[in-house]
Structure 1
Amino acid sequence: MARTKLAFSLFWRTFFLLTLLLVGGVFAWMQTFRALEVEPRAVQAAQQIAALVNLARTALQASDTINRVALIKTMAKQETVRLAPREPGDKWEAFEVDRFSRAIGAELRAQLGTDTVVASSVNKQPGLWVGFMIEKDPYWLQADSSRVGTLTWGTLGLWGGIALLASVFGSALIARAINRPLQELSFAASRIREGEFDSILDENTMTAEIRQVNMGFNRMARELAKVEEDRAVMLAGISHDLRTPLARLRLEAEMSVNDDEAKRNMASDIDQLDAIIDKFMDYARPGDVKLVPVHLSSLVDREMAAFRDTSQIRITARVAIDTKVLADEIELGRVLQNLFENARRYGRSTDTGIAKVVVTYARTGPWVILSVRDYGPGVDPAKLAQLTTPFFRGDAARTAATGAGLGLAIVDKAMQRMGGTFEAANAADGGLVCHLRLKKAP
């Protein structure tokens, strides 16, 4: 079997590409935003801290020595702001360790003076500590460190998650809008392949390219419908015009030819011409079929009964009586007739000269596979794929009888009309086996 290539529908390809583009855009936006918001946020935080320091400095400067101590004690009781004298023995750690903290430190010095000290902890007490001078007296102001925090990864993740969800949803809507005209075109093309020419695509769509494609497709469908109608009329006329002189020839042969053998030969030739006309009509038959539950066993038995000459063909069927498939009973009957006739002509055993045919079945999921096998010489493997080509014949071993070369082509076309498939292969121990794949009836 040929290796099946992994393929995605156009919708999923468009969806994945749009999602990848939008996700990349969201990630780039987050990185850019995070980089650009550092300096404005640092300036804003530094201004808030500087305002606290200036407020504390003004309050201390306006107080005398006694009131200043009381003010410091009062502010020390606050949870967010604390004032304390700066002692020579205080141990502190630098606050400026990254880009954001360095920007805060630079802004504080610009507003409070170059002698300003910014620390992340003093005497192992964490916080944002700002050292400043009041009349040559050094002080510490401790502020809540949350005032100068950057955006956390949790916040960024939440924003990014919302943006990603919106991107995925938007990608699905865009991909669906882009691919809807193509889906409609694909569906209409599949209906034409099945012989239905009444599909009409929208010729008033806003997209100019799609509108032109739809107009061209509708025009093609109308032309194909006209060609199909003309072909049916032409073949019906040919059939009628040919059968009339054939009937006259048969009558004249019966009345004017005295030699019985010559009369039989002429009648055989006329029958063969009539059968060839039937094959042409079968192949050109319109594609309208009505699928209904069909009892497979009964249909096989009925078609077997038409091949009663055991000197040419012997058919054995092994199909369960409760097996039903969705098919057109008349079409499926023609399929079996063609397969049995093909085996009678080309599948005869080399030792007995009789075509032995075995009909079996198998159920696989929602399908029923009906197999028709002969024990003849088989077909050249290189020519198996061409067996369903109209007017093609296999090698000389399978072309001992004359015919139109349409039998298996009719089978393949009829199976497609019924939503099934037809496959032909050489059996391992000789002979040709044909598989009919049909939908299982409920």
Structure 2
Amino acid sequence: MPSRAWQKRLTALLGWGGLALGSSAFCLVVFQALFGRQLEQLQTIQLGRDLALNVRLTELALERYPPHMVAELSGLDLEVTVRPKPAPLPPSAAFKRQAEALQLQLCQRLSHCPMVLPDRAARGERSVWIELISPLEPIWLRVDVPSMMRWPPEPTLLGLALVGAGIICGGLFLLVEVEAPLRGLEKALSRVGDGEDPDAVSARGAPEVQRLTQRFNAMVQRLAANRRERATMLAGIAHDLRAPITRLQFRLSMPQLSADERERCAGDLQSLERITGQFLLFAGGGDSETSVQVPLDQLLAEVASSHPADQLRLELAALSVSVKPVALGRAIANLIDNAFSYGIAPVILRLYVDNSRCCIEVWDQGKGMPVQQWEEALQPFHRLDSSRGQQGHCGLGLAIVSHVARLHGGRLECIHRDKNDSGLDPGTDPGRFAIRFSLPLHDDQSTVPTS
């Protein structure tokens, strides 16, 4: 494993090194194309200033000494000829333009305007012939002219190329080694926030990002293990309660018990049944259930079918919505049971659409819970003293409903209505207290009325 890690690091280092060299060459070519003309003009001006001095000194020396002696003493390339031989390769248009600019500089700095001829050797060297004034014979001075594409390049262009390569490599490093892994980590984190268990994120990118990814994966594993342990624990509790419930039911069938004792035992059994069912619902949660398109009014009617029609009234609009049917049915069943347990009959179950939201309301005629205790009532295993005196309730009913609402992207609200208020229309709301379960209706969810 360590050898493979070093191999990956060495490969990455070689890759980034090659990218840096390629970026430097690319930037050098680009800067030469962009700024080569300006630098060439500056170079021509400096070369013209130096050549004007050399030409003047050489012409003064030629007035007293022969050309070969001046060439030997000064090291200048002098040639005695009427006109230099034409170059084997024709000069480029850019070189001709530079030679004309150099001639213009010499004409401005000398008392006469010498002739300047571009010359290009077979190996690519660039030079110019400058005509000198000599009292006896025509003499030409050959001077090399450096090219902007030579190696090593101009220090200014080389510096700009290194800076550009650093910017390119730095930007690509942030994009590939930091930004892309962090984007994948952000997506996985959003899935964790939505209650899902994402797959382990591959540790890639910069070492710091890899360490962050490894810690994130460890956190996700711990969260998944905690959820599994919670589900196992709750399922185990519910399973363990099933056995004594069965034994109690068997004993109740024996004829030795009195009617009062039999009734009390039956009440205890119902309480145990309710607690066990709540634990199983909370352990399941409905997270893995797939959303399907269902006629919501028929689903709610089926959920309410176990209650007597004179105690539970239905006001359901015909709607077809994409939901998790099992989880939603359990949540609405909990709301109906709470209404019968803590409220006053009759209970009204309503279904309607309001402002692109599907609203499900469970009304009763009781005073309901205090508004300031609403957030506490949504917490698991929390009982409100004023409304939890009956048996068979473990404080999970509203917590299950709140969890199902979050699964559907909806929300849970409580509504209080005082029918003694003079400003209230008695026909507007069918009760004094209700819990509203509302779901958003998206474009991909059909909300056409069912037949």
Q: Tell me the TM-score normalized by structure 2.
A: 0.54
Query: Match of 1:290?
Result: 290
Determine whether 1:422 maps to 2:411: yes
Contact 2:176 2:205 in 1 (8 A): no
Q: How does 1:328-347 map to 2 (within 5 A)?
A: 328-347=324-343
- Deviations for 1:118-156, whole angstroms, at most 9, x for unmatched residues? xxxxxxxxxxxxxxxxxxxxxxxxxxxxxxxxxxxxxxx
Change beyond 3 A, Cα 1:372–1:303: same
Contact 2:301 2:314 in 1 (8 A): no
Contact 2:327 2:404 in 1 (8 A): yes
Determine whether 1:432 maps to 2:431: no
Contact 1:293 1:324 in 2 (8 A): yes
For residue 274 of structure 1, give the secondary structure of its aligned residue in structure 2: helix
Distance 1:363 1:426 in 2: 16
Contact 2:177 2:206 in 1 (8 A): no
Determine whether 1:362 maps to 2:348: no
Determine whether 1:245 maps to 2:244: yes
Distance 1:210 1:327 in 2: 38
Distance 2:243 2:369 in 1: 38
- Deviations for 1:287-338, whole angstroms, at most 9, x for unmatched residues? 211111111111111112122164xx4233232x2x1221121111111101
Q: How does 1:241-390 map to 2 (within 5 A)?
A: 241-255=240-254, 257-285=256-284, 287-308=287-308, 310=310, 313-319=311-317, 321=318, 323-348=319-344, 354-365=345-356, 367-390=357-380
Query: Match of 1:151?
Result: none
Contact 1:372 1:434 in 2 (8 A): yes
One-letter code aligned to 1:416: R
| Offset of residue 176 of structure 1 | 9.1
One-letter code aligned to 2:314: T
Structure 1: runs of 5 or more not aligned: 1-36, 52-109, 113-166, 349-353
Distance 2:175 2:348 in 1: 53
Q: How does 1:381-420 map to 2 (within 5 A)?
A: 381-394=371-384, 396=386, 398-402=387-391, 403-417=393-407, 419-420=408-409
Change beyond 3 A, Cα 1:338–1:220: same
| Offset of residue 283 of structure 1 | 0.4
Contact 2:413 2:437 in 1 (8 A): yes
Structure 2: runs of 5 or more not aligned: 1-37, 53-107, 111-166, 419-431, 447-451
Change beyond 3 A, Cα 1:235–1:393: closer
| Offset of residue 178 of structure 1 | 4.7
Query: Match of 1:70?
Result: none
Extract structure 1 runs of 4+ deviating beyond 4 A: 170-179
Distance 1:328 1:262 in 2: 42
Contact 1:338 1:411 in 2 (8 A): yes
Give aligned pairs, total: 287
One-letter code aligned to 1:381: V
Query: Match of 1:28?
Result: none
For residue 361 of structure 1, give the secondary structure of its aligned residue in structure 2: strand
Identity across aligned pairs (percent)?
A: 26
One-letter code aligned to 2:414: A
One-letter code aligned to 2:290: K
Q: Tell me the TM-score normalized by structure 1.
A: 0.55
Distance 1:395 1:347 in 2: 15
Contact 2:405 2:412 in 1 (8 A): no
Query: Match of 2:220?
Result: 221
Residue range with higher mean Cα deviation, 267-276 or 187-196 = 187-196
| Offset of residue 355 of structure 1 | 4.0
Query: Match of 2:426?
Result: none
